[in-house]
Structure 1
């Protein structure tokens, strides 16, 4: 890691000084920026925001697919103390309105159209009094950058100097059992220290060619993607939309060496009919996670894709995105059955229902303590206190075991979540939306196994009297109301939900 780089501004300056002419960013359209040029592009964003009255503590949101502009805006805003709120590109209007409103976002950066989504149109008429301006990355962005003057390079440097390692850099919203997403507060130093530990564990190197398929709105594509590449001196290749044939062509053409992603990505590459053995010859490292990884998939990644190191990692938004990772050289069975050892500086405990430490190899709730534990939830001290105890231990809600070498294995998922195509799906959030449908009286959502997606949602519904019980119509309504990965793939209509003596739904019976 470059020395003493604990803020985004310090990282950009040091990376540009060390690797000024090395390519940092290569776009799908062929455009390229060096480390020095990326720094200057970020400072241009900083000047534009300062000229519009931007100040430390203000918030921006980005609702757009992966691109160089996404990273430039995020870097330019955060290096002068503004806080970043990424929005999932699958969100619908109500989901985005909720986060933009609670986040008191001043500037929204988006695109006119992506996959048929009209983001601005979905927000039309919604109550967002704090939102001053919507800026389109694919329509007039250069004009926006130059439209206002009054902030020079000295002003940018002064603003950067006013940002400290413990200042909040981003707020990533994550769902929970209440069904309402919570904003996780992370600092500059937490992000940079956490993913330096991740990079050291998995072996991301200077000069690597890193294809970023994971979305920038997620920790995996943002912090473990373009940010850590600034730290390590890797060249990034953002992918706006995954298509197996196109990704294979890029790997071959650009000699990609690093490709992280959920298991579904690699399964799709293996299944691509047009794949040739030499398409993936340059790949050295894959890091996967977000779902259990069967040993056969790891062996196929080794044998058929030619990837020398296939590793896994574990983290949650509240831990700045990473707690543990497997190491280069770990055998296939270990990688498939564990999520590695804690990164340096991070402690873990496994406890029983009475908060007593369990014996090695025995299951217990995983608690985490260290520099990576979030600062708290946005405007929610009660939830923060329920999640982080007085001694600084973060309750993950995950049940795990730990062997004598320190390797963790997650045995049960946190708070009933299931993972569809690499995205966390929280039943309570989906159920809250389904209860808005006029046919739904009560509902429980569970994840069921799916060969390609890992798991998909299954909705078990108690209908209101006279309901149509129309599966297709209900699923179609869901697609209009929520991100596609949250939409239940199947529906079951029942007279009653199975509950225990205290009235809680017995989800295990629904699976």
Structure 2
């Protein structure tokens, strides 16, 4: 897969007698700096005045910028202060706050002196009522300090975490808490000895999986993992090394996509990271559009829902489209499947505005893979190709239940989960390959170098009463596409039933329609989709619109907006019963 500014990989593919397949690039991973602290030092010394981090002032004012030189100076001073508070390898920093300049500097401070930090979802503090997951996280980490930028908003969470010897760090000094300006007063010389001890296997951070079916797992992230991962990124997206990247991004840093791939893509290549306070939801996306009118990105990330909103604005505002595509090297999406309608519209507006094809692509990875693992850089006519394995990784495809289960081995794979040797052992196979839990389908069964399509989570798939396996991911994506924008997402059901059904989550356009007109439109599209399906494992025969939105608290939806299919099925047993009993609102075909 190749294109201007991208890789041209050559592969070795081994087919084993047991049906498994190994795929790796022939060329070894390129040399790279051993630690993230080395990367920060490099740019602070070679481009000290270049803007590194930026965020609008409170209230939506002008951009506040921090240069590489200033970021390193603050990180050293703050790191020294954290050490004097007793933080260290066994007493990490727990960060409850959302993305901010202060959050970034605290993370850098920890990175430079060998203190692990753990950014966790603000929703665990601000949305959750019982703070169960937050308390589980604290029990796993035993943090020496907790950061909450707004102590009033986070007061219930801080109360749930109350423990002797645990410092509270906020933006300003106050009763029982330490302000960032106080931390900035630390003696940088106090950080030098600790900095010298930071090496490739030093733990940078713990990133927590969602834990929708149990306590969240603390995924260990080391310097060597992340630095090797960024070497893979540079090899794939070669244009980011040729010109310092400019990125505007909202993705939460408690998630591996935002906190690892995007943040360190900018830092390790000497670019500028603009923190976007907009979100891909109605009422908050206007802030993203305001920022995009000012910032010409070279690399852009969003979730499919964000692109649904963005393409509307790009089509209706030529000046915005001109700015958006002016310097853009590529558009990347993850977190869920993109509808073909949005895919086609984005490509069309890019060609119309830029006079060229702007790569629109996705990939595949996990928190345990740091996360970059598979990537697609060849222009595609249809959405969904997750690409091929990065340099330095070996992809193992194992036949399981009629599918190919994906497993990975290489320098970017986590050594395991903190405090959970049993889960760590379960995550790897007998050859040391990490089990992604995802199934892949080759774009061309005769040529794996053409990439792969996501073929569902192994744990989400189920059987009909006929014994036929249902590829939930593929069925869901096809059904949402067939709904023509009326549906935002769908839960595929039918485990141990004779036929498939779907619980539909309406889009804003679908919700705005009059009920009678909406029911008729849905029935027409669902019937057409059923006629086009090729068998019982892909043909949805009945559907019901959900009246309650998916809940983060119940583990049904992630911050990126993607659904946990299995959790949604478990939590909507009554609706599924209605669906198959033929109750009110059920559409059948």
Within the alignment, does 1:230 sit opposite 2:278 as a pair? no
The CA distance in 2 between the partners of 1:366 and 1:24, in whole Å, is 36
Q: Is the 8 A contact 1:24 1:234 kept in 2?
A: yes
Query: Is the partner of 1:247 in helix, strand or coil?
Result: helix
C-alpha distance 448-5 of structure 1, shift in aligned 2 (>3 A) = farther
Per the TM alignment, residue 375 of structure 1 is displaced from its structure 2 partner at its CA by: 0.6
1:303 corresponds to: 348
Q: Say which is worse superposed, 62-71 or 480-489, in terms of deviation.
A: 480-489
Per the TM alignment, residue 395 of structure 1 is displaced from its structure 2 partner at its CA by: 1.1
In the TM superposition, what whole-angstrom CA distance separates every residue of 1:151-182 from its partner, at most 9, and x where no partner exists?
63222121111011012211111145852221
Q: Is the 8 A contact 2:364 2:374 kept in 1?
A: yes
What RMSD in Å do the two structures reach over aligned CA positions? 3.7
2:413 corresponds to: 373
The CA distance in 1 between the partners of 2:552 and 2:441, in whole Å, is 37
C-alpha distance 450-289 of structure 1, shift in aligned 2 (>3 A) = farther
The CA distance in 2 between the partners of 1:296 and 1:7, in whole Å, is 42
Within the alignment, does 1:344 sit opposite 2:401 as a pair? no
In the TM superposition, what whole-angstrom CA distance separates every residue of 1:36-66 from its partner, at most 9, and x where no partner exists?
1111121122121022222234211111221
The CA distance in 1 between the partners of 2:34 and 2:301, in whole Å, is 24
Q: TM-score, normalised by structure 1?
A: 0.77
Within the alignment, does 1:105 sit opposite 2:143 as a pair? yes
Q: Is the 8 A contact 1:61 1:105 kept in 2?
A: yes
The CA distance in 1 between the partners of 2:184 and 2:142, in whole Å, is 25
Query: Is the partner of 1:260 in helix, strand or coil?
Result: strand
1:135 corresponds to: 169
In the TM superposition, what whole-angstrom CA distance separates every residue of 1:96-150 from its partner, at most 9, and x where no partner exists?
222122211111112227xxx92222342x3553661121236669963454799
Q: 2:253 aligns with which of 216, 221, 242?
A: 216
The CA distance in 1 between the partners of 2:211 and 2:148, in whole Å, is 26
Q: Is the 8 A contact 1:198 1:325 kept in 2?
A: no
The CA distance in 1 between the partners of 2:573 and 2:430, in whole Å, is 43
The CA distance in 2 between the partners of 1:228 and 1:496, in whole Å, is 47
Query: Is the partner of 1:69 in helix, strand or coil?
Result: helix
How many equivalent residue pairs? Answer: 442
The CA distance in 1 between the partners of 2:314 and 2:346, in whole Å, is 16
Within the alignment, does 1:410 sit opposite 2:454 as a pair? yes
Q: Is the 8 A contact 2:88 2:116 kept in 1?
A: no
1:331 corresponds to: 379
1:254 corresponds to: 295
C-alpha distance 149-492 of structure 1, shift in aligned 2 (>3 A) = closer
Q: Say which is worse superposed, 93-102 or 371-380, in terms of deviation.
A: 93-102
Query: Is the partner of 2:268 in helix, strand or coil?
Result: helix
**Unmatched runs of 5 consecutive residues or more in structure 1:** 355-361, 428-445, 454-470, 499-511
C-alpha distance 337-481 of structure 1, shift in aligned 2 (>3 A) = closer
Within the alignment, does 1:24 sit opposite 2:24 as a pair? no
Per the TM alignment, residue 303 of structure 1 is displaced from its structure 2 partner at its CA by: 2.3
C-alpha distance 89-2 of structure 1, shift in aligned 2 (>3 A) = farther
C-alpha distance 140-59 of structure 1, shift in aligned 2 (>3 A) = same
The CA distance in 2 between the partners of 1:351 and 1:482, in whole Å, is 29
Report the structure number with the largest CA radius of gyration: 2
**Unmatched runs of 5 consecutive residues or more in structure 2:** 1-28, 58-62, 462-471, 477-488, 492-500, 509-545, 580-589
Q: Say which is worse superposed, 480-489 or 63-72, in terms of deviation.
A: 480-489
Per the TM alignment, residue 249 of structure 1 is displaced from its structure 2 partner at its CA by: 1.9
C-alpha distance 122-145 of structure 1, shift in aligned 2 (>3 A) = closer
1:317 corresponds to: 367
Q: TM-score, normalised by structure 2?
A: 0.67
2:194 corresponds to: 159
C-alpha distance 366-321 of structure 1, shift in aligned 2 (>3 A) = same
In the TM superposition, what whole-angstrom CA distance separates every residue of 1:295-351 from its partner, at most 9, and x where no partner exists?
332232222255722121110111121211111xx12226x2310111100001111
Q: Is the 8 A contact 2:91 2:144 kept in 1?
A: yes
Q: Is the 8 A contact 1:100 1:128 kept in 2?
A: no
Q: 1:70 aligns with which of 103, 109, 117?
A: 103
Q: 1:289 aligns with which of 309, 331, 334?
A: 334
The CA distance in 1 between the partners of 2:360 and 2:277, in whole Å, is 23
Within the alignment, does 1:94 sit opposite 2:132 as a pair? yes
C-alpha distance 208-34 of structure 1, shift in aligned 2 (>3 A) = same
Q: Is the 8 A contact 1:108 1:131 kept in 2?
A: no
Q: 2:311 aligns with which of 256, 265, 270?
A: 270
C-alpha distance 352-148 of structure 1, shift in aligned 2 (>3 A) = closer
Per the TM alignment, residue 256 of structure 1 is displaced from its structure 2 partner at its CA by: 2.7
Q: Is the 8 A contact 1:67 1:240 kept in 2?
A: no
Query: Is the partner of 1:49 in helix, strand or coil?
Result: helix
2:582 corresponds to: none
The CA distance in 2 between the partners of 1:240 and 1:317, in whole Å, is 23
In the TM superposition, what whole-angstrom CA distance separates every residue of 1:184-235 from its partner, at most 9, and x where no partner exists?
1121110121123124323434333200121111111111122221111211
Q: Say which is worse superposed, 280-289 or 25-34, in terms of deviation.
A: 280-289
The CA distance in 1 between the partners of 2:407 and 2:339, in whole Å, is 26
Q: Is the 8 A contact 2:360 2:379 kept in 1?
A: no
